[in-house]
Structure 1
C-alpha cells in the first residue's frame, strides 16, 4: 500500500472529539489502498484534556504508529495549580478565573505561540524526517489543533519535496476564545504570520465547514479558497451497533461534552422552566461531560431533575445518546460562529434522536440540520420556539427518521474524500 504520514498530537489513549477524526480516517484508509503512518506524542509525556483507553482498540493493525517524547508546559501548570486537568477550550473547563489563570492566559497568549504544545515540535520534526527518509513517504498530513503541529508541516515542506495537506479542524486566530489570552500587538502579529505561512505554503487545506474555509481564505491575497476542501466531521456506523441498551423510566434531554458559563442558555432555561406539568414530572436533563457548578445550578433552578454523569469513554457516550429522547446542542454566541460544526453533532445525527440546537439560524450547522431533517436550530432569543419543539418531541415522544442524506456524513464515506485528496496531484 501507498504510505501517508499523519502527524497528529491527539491519538489514543487521548480522548475527546479531536482524536476521532483521524483515528476514523486511519481505520478506513487501508480499504482504499493507503497505509497510515501515525506520528504522535508519547502518552507518558502528553498533556491530554481527557483520556479514553477504549479508543486504543480502534487502531487498526495496518497502522504504523510512532510516538516521541515532548516538553509539556500544561503539565507544569497542573503541578503548580494542583488541578487534575489541563486547561482546554480557552480555559473553559475552569469555572473561576483567579490570579494564576490570568497570568497563565497572558503567558499563553504572548510567550507560547502558537500554543503551549509547541514543546512537542522539535521531537516530532526529528522523527518525521527519519520516517520520510526510511519509508519513502511523499505525502504528509498535519492536523490541528494544536496549531503548533502545522509548523512541523511547514518545516517539512521546506526541507523535502513532499505534498503537504494541512487539516485545520478549528479556526486559528479567529477561534472564539482567542481574545481571552490578552495578546500584545506583537504577539498577534507573530501568530498571524504563522497562520498565514501555513495556509499559503500547504499544497492543500482541509477544513470542517464552509465558513471556516471562508475565514482562512480571507487571510491571504493568494487564492486560498481554490486549494481548500471542506470535509466535515462525521459518525462511524460501527460505534452505533450497540445491543442491550438500558431503558430509562424518564424522558431524557441529553447534552454531551463541555458547556461553559459563557454559553448563552438564558432563553433555553426560560423554556425549560415553562414545560407543562405533565411533561415536567417525567423529564430529566442529563449532562455527559464537564459542567461548571454555576451552570448546573441554573438548570436546577428550572425545577427539573438534573443528572451529572461526568466524562465517560466513547462507547458509553454513544450509549447515553441512544438512551435519550432529545439531544441538546449549544453553539457559543461569538463572532464567526456560523462555521462552528462540532464533532458531537454528527454522532447526534447518527443516533436518530431529535436534535434541539441553539445557535446561528443561518450557517453550516443550520444547513445540515435542515437537509437531514434531524431537528431544529433556534436563535438564542427564541424561547417560544424551543418550548414548542420540546413539547412536540417529548409529549408524546417522536423519534427522528434517518434520511438518505445522513449517510454522506459516515466516517467511511468521508474517508473516500480523504483518499481522493491523497491520490490527486493538485
Structure 2
C-alpha cells in the first residue's frame, strides 16, 4: 500500500463537523490502495467529544499523537470562565462584542497567536514528523485547516522533504473566513496572516477546498488552480432499522448553531403561525441537536416558542442522524457573512442522504442552493425572504397534516465519501 500522512487537529474522540471530512475520507482510502497515517494532538482542547466515532477509524489506519499546549486556560482565566468550559463554534464572534476582557482576549488571539492558538504545536510537530519521515516511506502529505497551523506544519516538512507531494486542504478560508474581520487585527498582524496564507497556497503541490465559491476566492490570492473536493456523506451511516416519522411537525437542526446563523425571520414566522392556529402551536417541535448559541435560544424565547423547543446538546453522530431521519423538516441556516456564497455546510450532504425536506436560508444564488436545487431536496430562501419562508412552512405543514410531506431527492450519490476518497487519490497521484 502507498501511504498518505494526514495532519489534522480534529480526530476522534473529538466530535463535531471538523472531524468528519478526514475521518470519513480516510475510511475509504484503503480501498484505493492507500494507507492513512493520521497525525493529531494527544490532548486537544475539543469543544465536544464523541467516543462513538472511534469505531469509524479504519483498522488499517495508523494514528500518531503528540502532546499539544494551547493557551485556552489563559483565555478562560481572562474571561472568568470555569476551567472545564468548552468553546462553542463562533466563540470569536461572541467574544469580540463582549466585555473588555473578552475583547482583549480576541485582540491577543488575532495579533499574537498567528495563525491560531495551535501555533505552539508547529515546531515540535515538524521535528517529530521529520524523524518519522526519515524512518518511514510516505507518498503524500495532506494538511487540513482550520486550524491553519496544520498547514504550517506541512510547509515546514515540505522544505525538508521537497519530493513528497503536499496537498493543502482548506475546509474553510483563512483570511476570508467570516470571523477574520472581528479579530481586531493591527496592520502588522493582518500582513503576517496574509503572508503566511500566500506562502501555503503557493508552496503546496495542490490546494483543495470544499466549494466553487471558496475555490474562486482562494485562487484570487494564490493565482493558481484550486481543486474542489466536496464534503459528503458516508452511506454506512444511513442504514437505519426503521423509517418512522415524528408525529409532531418537527423542524430539526443538527450540529453547531452559532450566532451568525440565527434565522430570526423564521422564528417570527413560526410565532405568527402559532398565534393564528392553535393546532400548529401544539404540533410544532423545534429540535436543536448540538451546541446552540444563547442568542438563538433568546430569539426563540422572544417569539414565545421556547415551550416548543427540544434541546439536545450532543449525541453520538449516528444517533443524531437517526433523529433527523424521523424529522419532518431539516433546517439549514447559513452564516450571514461575507464569504457565504462559497459555504457548503458538511451537514447539508447528510441532509441530502436522509431524504427529508430541507429548509435552507441563505443567498439563493450561492453554491449550496445549486446543489439543493439539482438534487430536488428542499427549498432555499434569502435571509430576508419572509414571504417565501412563510409560504414554504405553510406548504410543508399542510403536507404534514396529510402525512404526505416527502421529497424525491436524487443525484446526490456523487457526494458519497467513497467517491470523494477516489478523487483525493487522483489528485495525490497527478
TM-score interval w.r.t. the shorter chain? Answer: over 0.9
CA contact (8 A) 2:249 2:285 kept: yes
Please show how residues 216-231 of structure 1 align to structure 2 within 5 Å: 216-220=218-222, 222=223, 224-225=224-225, 228-231=226-229
Q: What's the TM-score, normalizing by structure 1?
A: 0.93
Matched, 1:112 2:113: yes
Q: What's the TM-score, normalizing by structure 2?
A: 0.92
User: Which residue number corresponds to residue 310 of structure 1?
Assistant: 313
User: Which residue number corresponds to residue 427 of structure 2?
Assistant: 421
Residue 391 of structure 1 is aligned with which of 391, 394, 400?
394
**What does the per-residue CA deviation read over 1:236-265, in whole Å, with 9 as the maximum and x for residues that have no partner?**
111111225776331100012222334352
CA contact (8 A) 1:93 1:290 kept: no
User: Which residue number corresponds to residue 141 of structure 2?
Assistant: 140
CA contact (8 A) 2:88 2:256 kept: no
What is the CA-CA distance between 1:76 and the residue it aligns to? Answer: 3.6
Q: Distance in 2 between matches of 1:346 and 1:285?
A: 21
What is the CA-CA distance between 1:95 and the residue it aligns to? Answer: 10
CA contact (8 A) 2:96 2:182 kept: no
- Structure 2 stretches lacking a partner, 5+ long: none
User: Which residue number corresponds to residue 382 of structure 1?
Assistant: 385
CA contact (8 A) 1:325 1:353 kept: yes
What is the CA-CA distance between 1:39 and the residue it aligns to? Answer: 0.7
* Secondary structure class of the residue paired with 1:357: strand
Off by >6 Å, runs of 4+ in structure 1: 93-96
Aligned residue pair count: 417
Matched, 1:36 2:36: yes
User: Which residue number corresponds to residue 184 of structure 2?
Assistant: 182
- Structure 1 stretches lacking a partner, 5+ long: none
RMSD: 1.9
CA contact (8 A) 1:87 1:94 kept: no
User: Which residue number corresponds to residue 236 of structure 2?
Assistant: 238
User: Which residue number corresponds to residue 363 of structure 2?
Assistant: 360
**What does the per-residue CA deviation read over 1:331-360, in whole Å, with 9 as the maximum and x for residues that have no partner?**
122212100111111111111111111101
User: Which residue number corresponds to residue 347 of structure 1?
Assistant: 350
Q: Distance in 2 between matches of 1:342 and 1:350?
A: 14
* Secondary structure class of the residue paired with 2:412: helix
Flag the 1:178–1:288 CA change in 2: closer, same or farther, 3 A.
same
Q: Distance in 1 between matches of 2:77 and 2:344?
A: 33
CA contact (8 A) 2:2 2:34 kept: yes
What is the CA-CA distance between 1:92 and the residue it aligns to? Answer: 5.1
User: Which residue number corresponds to residue 200 of structure 1?
Assistant: 202
Residue 412 of structure 1 is aligned with which of 410, 418, 424?
418
User: Which residue number corresponds to residue 14 of structure 1?
Assistant: 14
What is the CA-CA distance between 1:411 and the residue it aligns to? Answer: 0.8
